[in-house]
Structure 1
Amino acid sequence: MSTSTRRSRTVLAALAAAVLTGGLAAPQAAADGARAADTTAVEWFDVTARTVAAAPAPTQVTNSRTWAIGWLAAARATRDVPGGLDHGQYRRAALASAVHRALTELVPGQAEQVDAAYARTLAGIPDGQAEDRGVAAGERQASLLLAERTGDGLDPASVNAPYPVPAAGPGVWQPTPPAHAPATQYGNRVAEPFALRSQSQFRLPPPPAPDSTRYAADLAEVRAYGAADSTVRGAEQTAVAQFWYGSSFTLYTEPLRVALTRSSQGLAGQTRLVALFHVASVDTQIATSDSKYAHTRWRPVTAIRTGAIEPDATWTPLHTTPAHPDYPSGHGTYSGSAEGVLTALGGARTAPFELTSPTAPGVTRTYTAWRQLSEENVDARVWSGIHTRTADEAGIALGRAVARHVLERQGELLAAR
């Protein structure tokens, strides 16, 4: 029995029991190693997605952090292979080991399921130095990164640090109806990024002044197209707004999986794709809160109900307004970041793929380019009545800028520690 197998005795015992009871197929022969190597990244993508979905944190960025830690550690562990070892076997073991270590630490309630997946991967890798050293590399990189990220300010309590509501005034954010809930994501603005030099590195310039022509046009569009009782918003526009109303983290899991399954970059390249996607996502969410709380722009519902431009105290948006400032749109920033990474590492266009949304049951939409998702996000938040077009477009630009920065620094980010 190899050193790796001895270290994993407890995990493998679960596998053996499952095989004996018919719960799992017996390990395949080493001759099938090439086929297994081709699917390892997708298998662990699905393990990560199931694990986080089964026990999600209440804050989106915390869930993005879980992905970023596990897959960045895996990318570091799989980037280079020591001489004399089988590359496929080493990288499969390193990927599984790193993500397993991160998930069992960060989502401990799902450890049994993650352990079982780990056992399946190890059982398909021949015992020997490639497996042993791959396991050790993955565990080392995950342990180092977990220690490095301790206290990074991305836990739910820190993310939702209390925000002292400013005095009301033209353009100034105030809690929005119907709940008038406290502001969320205020703490993101001081969290530790993965790649940004500072949280404010990509802080946006101020939005258009409340008495400007541009802002008047923005508000007129939201008033007309984003109202719950709008007479000008069409059925397709309403459908787009409903489709993209949910969490960006959830909505973009499938596009990333599509890009992963279609990648021809090999296991190390696939791992890099997932890692950089979520690193950019975390840093984008930090940069988003920096700009939101630097400018504290009020939401359209506040502007329309209490502002100087034809105030209407009864105006209601199609969808409930999230509890944080308007500028920039977080959906826009997330989409811009995702588009940037997927385009750079997978190409701007791809074969048609279908998406579904938890906020639009039974609806399927089809896309052929990552940019299409960004364009729909911009429109959707206006038609939902919860963002101005300026806030959406600025969000896309901010997310793309963060993605470019992360990609420029990927050599440093992916270097093994």
Structure 2
Amino acid sequence: MCPAVNYNVSKLFDRINLRILTFLAVLLMYNMGFVMNICQPPTKDFLHFTKNITDLDHVRARQFVYLDCCASGYDTITWYFKNNNTKYSWKEFPFLYQECEHNDECPTLFSENQTLLILKATVGYDNGSYICVAHNSSTGQTISHLEDVLVSDCVERPKPEPIPPSDVITNIGQNATFHCAADFGCKSSFTRDVSWYIGTVEVQDVSTRYIVTKENRDYNPVVQANLTVLNVQQSDFGVTFSCWVSSDSDIDTPKFSVKLRQEGNNHRYHALVVHDDSRNEDNDIADHITSTLEREGYKICNRIEGFGRGVFSHFGGYLEQSASVIILDMESDSDDSNTFRVFIESSLRNMADSLVGFTVIQRKGMENSMMDSVEYKGLKRLQWPGSESSDRQRQKFYKQLQLRLPKPVKLDERTPLLQNV
């Protein structure tokens, strides 16, 4: 019996030592400045978030990621998580790790529950949506923050893969945010940066209302820089903002120019159809949807095909001209699926107030859907009826789809859809 006892005691001490080393490593990262978004100690004032926290994060598999819920005026902060393993139902911390006291890689809460640390992110378990809920028991008030985490196995890239921004529709007095990123892959690089400029001057040097929030961690293949224009003024609509992607690659610095646009007369299409043109079945479905809707008088943009880089460079412009979006879903393990999901989520957030509908169409039997975890206030999911469906089933599908579109009117190339949006 004694050897077994000694063995178990040894394992216990090993586990305790690893926990201590993990804590010291986190503390060291804080002291060395690796963790950029340090939450301040909360105070007993009114319930509010104390800093601008991201709603989308990317992390390379088997590397660490920390999620911040910096708040003040709370009694408790509770974390929840969902992904395909939870059947997209919210699970309270410790999520899928049911035996955290025996799991040295279990997520850890610290800074009075304001920060969640995932020490070794995995594609299967940690990829999903996280929400923190801060509660003040004396007032009964709660506030919450949702953040999506994309965990992907990294590939070496000879040059960065840009995820360009798109124009943002807004109005005077509102805040507007551009999203720009690039996937640098796993190749070691001294220069991996995404920055915002007006001409050749960094935007933050032009106006204090131009705020850049940047994520650039050593182990993260994706570098993201968001530009927020606070309290939009009329003069901002005449400014051209440029996102620059800098790297060690022997290429010219990719630059992407965008503008703020006022809400108004800019819709030329009833719907934009986006699909993966590497699949013949998806091509057939997209053509069927386009031809059917056009016979009913709708003007459809079906020029954007594929989920590769070509889509990214043109998607924003077509989206801006479209009153609604129809996406044919794809498998989450398809090429470029994570990159496309990041891009489309940021684009749709920017266009949220101008879209009539955002519809995801899934084929029967699809597993590991790319769009399953996407949350958007105007989202509707429809299932493609298939070639063996009855006339009644197809009619029902198109009736539901048309409810997501503005009513058709006689259009020419110069006729906007504003009066019907």
Superposition TM-score tier, normalisation by shorter sequence: under 0.3
Larger strand share, 1 or 2? 2
TM-score by length of 1: 0.25
Which structure has more RCO (C-alpha within 8 Å, separation ≥ 6)? 1
